[in-house]
Amino acid sequence: MIHRFLLIACTLLSMHFVNAQEDSRPEIGFDLAMGFSKNGGNIGIGPKFKFASYNPNIAWGPSVRFQHVWANNFLTGQSTSYSIYGGGAFLHYRIDNIVYLGTEVEFLHTPINYTFVDSPSWVPTAFIGGGLSKSWDFFRINAGLFYDVINHDNSPFRSSYFLSKTDGSGNKALLPLIYRFSFFFEL
């Protein structure tokens, strides 16, 4: 199954590489992260810069991320907050102004420690995925699903995983899958 998927993906990519005739312009983009409740919340932004490319279907460049998280413990009356920040790179392949495939890698500094053992404060993430992509003149929206292939125990994205699986014993585990909306503006 995976071999068929890779064969189809490589065939589609090669067709677009051969047909690409024009250069693309640089773009500035971002994705937003927001979540609010009476117990706390988070707000963040992930700016991206797309380099000019010989192929208008390829979007690649550096990215940074900043996220602020706060929590209110109503039992103890105490509140806490912390920030997550870091950088990385992204590579998206846009197909016919309809869909895109992509990978996004980041190294994030986070105080989160789900394992309660000494762990590095810099956590790697590596997402692969894709979704819908639509452009209007100088503006583009990407809406996609991404799978974290590293799925680090202290990943700050763990609270964003939205699907779970149940094994034969009834134990539930979260799948490292997130959804992401990105906005790009041509410069």
pLDDT tens, residue by residue, 55-67: 989 999 999 999 9
Pick from 109, 37, 43: nearest CA to 73: 37
**Residues 29, 185 contacting (CB under 8 angstroms):** yes
Structural domain boundaries of the chain? 28-186
Q: What would the pLDDT profile of 12-39 be if each residue is shown by its tens digit?
A: 455 444 444 456 889 999 998 888 888 8
pLDDT mean over 73-82: 84
Can you give the pLDDT at residue 119?
Answer: 64
User: What's the CATH number for 28-186?
Assistant: 2.40.160
Q: How confident is the model at residue 117 (pLDDT cuts 50, 70, 90)?
A: low
* 133-172 pLDDT tens trace: 999 988 999 999 999 999 988 888 887 888 888 888 888 8
> Does this model's pTM top 0.75?
yes
